[in-house]
Every structure is written in structure tokens, then in C-alpha cells.
Amino acid sequence: MTGPAVDIAYFIGEEAPVTALFGNAFNDDVPADYDYDYIGPDALSNVLNVKAGELQAGASRYRLLYLGGASNRMSTGALQAILRLVKQGATVVGERPTAKRSLADEDTEYKRLCHPIWDSPNSGKVFATADLASVLREHFLPRVIVEDPRVRRIARWVDGDQPLIFIANPVNEELHTPLRLQDTGGTFVAWDPVTLRQHALIRSEDGDSFDVRLPPYGSLFILRGEADPHPENEWITEASGEWTLTIPGSNPVPLAHARHWTDPGLGAEHFSGTATYLVEFQLDGPELPHAVQFSDIADVARLEINGEESGILWTAPYRVSTNALRPGNNRIQISVINPWRNRLISEARSNTGTLYPPMTRVFNDEADIQPSGLLGPLSLVYKNRP
């Protein structure tokens, strides 16, 4: 192993869980180009050790320990653990606590433990500051830089020095961003966890970064390797069939094509729950599709193809692989579920008396109805030209 698997072990303190500290906001203590794991008092005392200057917790390795969260108050037990790590050679960033955690922590022992951590040189291994960013900039260069700040990322190093990077697009638009690595030697491949397809990363013109494109709400795993030089071709056709939409409590509605049930004219814009789309169509064979795909699903759908459970769809490209299609007549049932928003907006506009405050005040009567349902066409995906 040649380098830490993660940049920072972030000690949250002993006062509150992570959700209480950062439940409503991102943790701004750690700069965007660094990765971290949260650790609690048990891991601090019983799991963390130091080897060759690196913090280790089982198979995980860290460049430094940061005292964040509620670390302004500490028990003597936590201080004993930090002192042990400092003596073993760990790098620690964090201010001296301002108070004991409880009356059970004896004053003399508390001061005795604080002194060798914060009042001794410790070979430059203890940085008595809450400004983690300044320490990192001066002593630990980032190993992965994603230039678009909207992109979420998690980077880990496995098998010593092999990067494994996950990046995700949290917005409903395509993002294009340079990705810079401290060590860009070799070739890199990107895997889409939804489609399971791969492609080689292309270097930028300056050769110092890779050009990465993320579809709306899309994500990629990036690692060293060679992409398949001969990816399979696909052919996509549109199925022609008869559609029906069934809203609970209403008669089935015939449709010329799949459309959102919130569209004008269907009378279901305020419905929240599970509605069912049904389509029947013919296939000639002998070549059969290996996947089916839709234009949009809002929000989550469960598919049955010819009576066989065929998967859950929740994100683009709204595709599911299948071997359930057959020559002749085929039947696909799509159960689509949307959130409660539209029903709550309906109650805000005209209270039916079946819901009560505060639920009837979640939205006002001017809130926009959220598109819900299934949008066609139904696309058939072939490995060979049909």
C-alpha cells in the first residue's frame, strides 16, 4: 500500500450524532477537493491506530485526523485516545477544547492530557487551528479536483494507489467538467452504474485533465483501465400498440400513446398514488429486443413484462433489460408512483375535509402541479438489427 485510501478522518465529537450536526446543511469544514469519513468516540479510542505516519482503521487509511463537530468539549477518554495517536505519529488538526465534557472528567487529568497535545512541538504533527483548509493547502495537495462545484464526488484509493472515484450530477441538466488527478498516468475508464456501459475518458488538450460529461442526475464510476475497444452496437425502434391508463377509482382511459396523467384533459392532475399503464403490441421475431426504454417516468415505476417482474425504473435513461419478450402478442404493465405533492396542492386549493392542518398548509394554492406518470414512446432496444 502506497498511500492513504481517504484524506481525512473527521472526528465529530461526543455531544451529538452527525444528523444533528449536519442534518440541514453540508459540512463546510472540509474543502471540496478532499474526501473524508466521519468517526465517533468509539472508533477514536478503539479502532484508529498509526502506521508509518498514516492513520489506519482496519482496511481504511487516512492522511490526518480533524477534530470537528462538537469537539470543543471533550472527555478525558477522548483526549487519551488523541494523545496516543499523536505519540504514534499521527497528524492532527483542531483547536484545544474549551471545556470538559462532564463533571466526571477530573480537572487535573484533563489539563495533563491537553498539555502534551497542544502545548508541545510534537514534531509539527499537531496543528492547533480549526482552519482545516489552510493546513491542507499548505501540507496536503488534493489528489482529485472536479472543477464544477455542483458535481458531488467520493474518491477512494484501493490496492494502494489505484483511484476509485464516484461522481454524481445533482441537477436536471447535463454537466461538463474537467477532472484532474494528481497522478494521471495510464488510461482511465468511466462506468455508468445505471446503464452498465463504459467508455474511455478523453484527455483535455493540455493533457492535465480529463473531460467528463454527466447526464441530468447521472453518475459515473472512474478508475484506471482500458475501455472495450469494440462496444456492442444497438438498434432502437418504437413499438406501436394500444395503451390504457387506470387511475384508482376511475375507469380505464384509452390513450394513443403514453402521457403524464397530469396532462390537461385527463382530469387527474391532483392525483397522488399509484396509477397503472398497460400496453399491448406485436413482435415478429426471430430477433427480439433485449431491453425496453421510456422517455420519462415521474417518479418511480415497477414493470411487468408478459406477467414477469422486470425491474424498477427511477432515473434516465429509463431502460430495463429483459428476456421476457416473445414473438406474437406482448403485454407490458407499468405501475407508476408519484409523491404526495399534487394531492396536497389540491387540498390547499379546495380542502376536501379528509386532511387536516398542518398537512393542508404544506403548499399554497399557487404551487405548481408536478408532472406525474409515464411519457412515451415505448422504445425497443435490439443487439442486432431487427
Write out the three cell numbers for 19.
444528523
Lowest mean pLDDT among 121-125, 213-217, 366-370: 121-125
* pLDDT reported for residue 2: 47
pTM of the predicted model as reported, rounded to 2 decimal places: 0.76
39: closest CA among 61, 23, 63, 18? 18
Residue 91 has pLDDT above 60, yes or no: yes
> For 274-326, what is each residue's pLDDT tens digit?
999 999 999 997 899 999 999 999 999 999 999 999 999 998 889 999 999 99
| Preceding amide of 254 cis, omega within 30 | no
Residue with cell 482511465: 188
Write out the three cell numbers for 277.
399503464
Taking residues 162-189, report their average pLDDT. Answer: 88
Residue 3 has pLDDT above 60, yes or no: no
Count Cβ atoms below 10 Å from residue 190 Cβ, excluding itself: 24
> What residues pair up with 203 in beta bridges, in sequence order?
210
| Stronger pLDDT, 377 or 359, i.e. the higher one | 377
Tell me the fold of 235-382.
Answer: Jelly Rolls (2.60.120)
Written out in words, the top-level CATH class of the domain with range 145-224 is mainly beta
Cα–Cα distance between 378 and 374 in angstroms, integer? 10
Residue with cell 406501436: 240
